[in-house]
Chains A and B, each alone.
Chain A
Amino acid sequence: GQNIDQPTEMTATEGAIVQINCTYQTSGFNGLFWYQQHAGEAPTFLSYNVLDGLEEKGRFSSFLSRSKGYSYLLLKELQMKDSASYLCAATYNQGGKLIFGQGTELSVKP
């Protein structure tokens, strides 16, 4: 299978920076997605990385290393509304489906 691993939960302080890591199996790998999901709602798209490197989009950035099977999501200037689950998902050659990790529950505290 294509195990997607990410920490179960993290806690950070308002205004700080937090990095959420994700590892995946590299065989047949295509690209890496990050989604944000608030309780009781559907996942919302944050980023999509295919090439190595860092992609920045406002307060959120996503990094990919294809050779290491590693990605991270970086959240800057944390706000209380950033408290949510962050889902890492990978696509592979054998189909267009996304394989999701279990999600990282981020709690932002004052």
Chain B
Amino acid sequence: DTGVSQNPRHKITKRGQNVTFRCDPISEHNRLYWYRQTLGQGPEFLTYFQNEAQLEKSRLLSDRFSAERPKGSFSTLEIQRTEQGDSAMYLCAILHRENEKLFFGSGTQLSVL
């Protein structure tokens, strides 16, 4: 158990549709991160939050992407007007407060048809 729960595990959608992923941190943590990973590549940073504040956004995060973290608890990542290039694993991670180590949730695998 990494202390991070992600839903759904898999998402299949048609091009042009909107999708939303959810991340629920369970363990005590300082920060919450979103990453994207495609086959054969390492995870790419998208954005991160300290409590409810979004402190940094990658240039990878186009206008179609938005992340929120109301009340500093769970976080959502929404992709509007999905494109086939959005197909990837979307990973949420938390930085544990005690040991400053980053732990990942199980991820959401998005397939855009």
Chain A residues in the interface with B (C-beta under 8 A)? 4, 33, 35, 40-45, 48, 87, 89, 95-103
Taking the closest CB of chain B, its distance from the CB of A87, in whole angstroms, is: 5
Chain B interface: which size bin?
20 to 34
Q: Measured between alpha carbons, how far is A36 from B40 in the docked complex, in Å?
A: 13
Chain B: CB-nearest residue to A47: B101
Q: Is the CB of A43 within 8 A of B48?
A: no
A95 near B42 with CB under 8 A, answer no
Is B104 engaged at the interface, CB distance under 8 Å to the other chain? yes
A42, B107: Cβ atoms closer than 8 Å: yes
C-alpha gap A35/B42 in the complex (Å): 10
Residues on B with C-beta less than 8 A from A35 are 104
- CB-CB under 8 A from B104, the residues of chain A are 35, 42-44
B113 interface hit (Cβ, 8 Å): no
Most buried by B among A48, A89, A96: A96
In angstroms, Cα B35 to Cα A35, docked, is: 14
> Does B65 count as interface, using CB distance less than 8 angstroms?
no
